[in-house]
């Protein structure tokens, strides 16, 4: 862009459009642009301020003054500049002043961001505290559930025990009712044989007849009592015989179980003896196997020694033959 601007200024100076004094910097820039466009090298001579007028404008044949400088190709411009002066264009000087310091960073939103972070942190702490409270509540509920479960199991065991006690009481009550019914029946049978009539003390014939009738009634009651007692005795004998039969059966079962226990003990002793014999035979077989393994190992070692001796003898035989 700088070269284009200076070239435009050089063209304007060449046509006489500028006639004012030029500074040295502008003079140098215009000379560089003129050199690039094929201007005469006399514009670079001298250090004092100079003016460009119509006398410096080139007027070749067949060229009008208003046409300006002839444009050349970049190759021709570079060739003309190198032919006019053998030095490269002078670069502008580096700036002597340091760059201004950077503006301070705006920290207006830091407090707002910190406040937002603090609010968020407070919300997180509140949520964590609520979570801890909920966790403690859940732990307490679990402990209550465990206690309730233990209490229910204990109550279930107690109810089961009470049911067993109630069944035992029902069974005992049924047996007591049966026993009471049996004794009531016996009492009724015995009461039917008793004589509740009083013997009159009169000495008349009617009193004698009544006495004879009462004695006959008493005799009949005694016979009935004897029959009842015989029946009870028979029933008791049957019960005793059944109890004895059950006892004999239990005794026989006990004897049979004792015989079976003795037989099993004998079998156990025989099996233990067989086991001891088998263990002894196993140990003997292990000892034999170990001896055979040792003999096999010794035979293999002897075989290796003999093979080595055979190889050595073959080598000696080959040496002797040689």
118-134 pLDDT per residue, tens = 888 889 999 999 999 99
Q: Residue 238: inside a domain, yes or no?
A: no
Of 43, 64, 84, the one marking the end of a domain is 84
Q: With CA atoms as reference, report the closest residue to 52 among 30, 81, 67, 37.
A: 30
199 φ, ψ (degrees, to nearest 5): -85, 120
The widest CA-to-CA distance across the chain, in whole angstroms, is: 213
Q: Residue 75: inside a domain, yes or no?
A: yes
Q: For the segment 53-84, what is each residue's pLDDT rounded down to a tens digit?
A: 444 444 444 444 444 444 444 444 444 444 44
Burial of 6 per CB tally in 10 Å (0-12, 13-18, 19+): buried
Stretches in the chain below the pLDDT threshold 50: 1-8, 10-20, 41, 44-87, 101-102, 104-111, 199-201
Q: How far apart are CA 67 and CA 114, in angstroms?
A: 71
Q: Does residue 67 sit in the same domain as residue 124?
A: no
Domain count, the chain: 2
Q: Does residue 121 sit in the same domain as residue 184?
A: yes
Of 192, 216, 247, the one marking the end of a domain is 192
Give the structural domain span for 80: 2-84
Q: Residue 31: inside a domain, yes or no?
A: yes
DSSP type of residue 80? H
Q: Does residue 133 sit in the same domain as residue 176?
A: yes
Place of tokens 């009470």: 162
Q: Does residue 125 sit in the same domain as residue 183?
A: yes
Rounded to the nearest 10°, the torsion over CA 175, 178, 184, 185 is: -150
């Amino acid at each position: 862009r700088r070269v284009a601007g200076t070239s435009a200024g050089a063209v304007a100076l060449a046509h006489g459009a500028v006639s004012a004094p030029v500074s040295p910097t502008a003079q140098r820039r215009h000379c560089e642009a003129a050199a690039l466009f094929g201007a005469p090298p006399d514009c670079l001579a001298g250090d004092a301020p100079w003016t460009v007028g119509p006398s410096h404008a080139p007027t070749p044949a067949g060229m009008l003054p208003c046409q300006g400088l002839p444009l050349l190709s970049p190759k021709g411009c570079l060739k003309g500049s190198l032919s006019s002066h053998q030095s490269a264009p002078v670069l502008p000087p580096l700036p002597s002043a340091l760059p201004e310091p950077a503006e301070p960073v705006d920290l207006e939103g830091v407090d707002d961001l910190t406040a937002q972070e603090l609010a968020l942190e407070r919300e997180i702490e509140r949520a964590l505290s609520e979570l801890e409270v909920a966790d403690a509540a859940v732990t307490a509920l679990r402990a209550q559930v465990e206690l309730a479960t233990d209490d229910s199991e204990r109550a279930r065991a107690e109810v089961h025990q009470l049911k067993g006690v109630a069944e035992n009481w029902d069974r005992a009550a049924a047996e007591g009712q049966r026993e009471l019914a049996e004794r009531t029946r016996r009492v009724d049978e015995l009461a039917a044989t008793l004589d509740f009539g009083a013997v009159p003390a009169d000495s008349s014939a009617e009193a004698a007849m009544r006495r004879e009738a009462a004695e006959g009634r008493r005799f009949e009651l005694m016979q009935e009592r004897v029959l009842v007692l015989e029946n009870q005795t028979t029933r008791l004998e049957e019960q005793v015989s059944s109890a004895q039969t059950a006892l004999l059966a239990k005794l026989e079962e006990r004897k049979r179980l004792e015989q079976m226990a003795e037989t099993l003990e004998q079998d156990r002793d025989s099996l233990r003896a067989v086991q001891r014999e088998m263990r002894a035979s196993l140990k003997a077989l292990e000892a034999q196997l170990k001896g055979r393994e040792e003999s096999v190992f010794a035979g293999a070692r002897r075989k290796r020694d003999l093979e080595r001796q055979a190889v050595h003898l073959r080598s000696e035989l080959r040496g002797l033959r040689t």
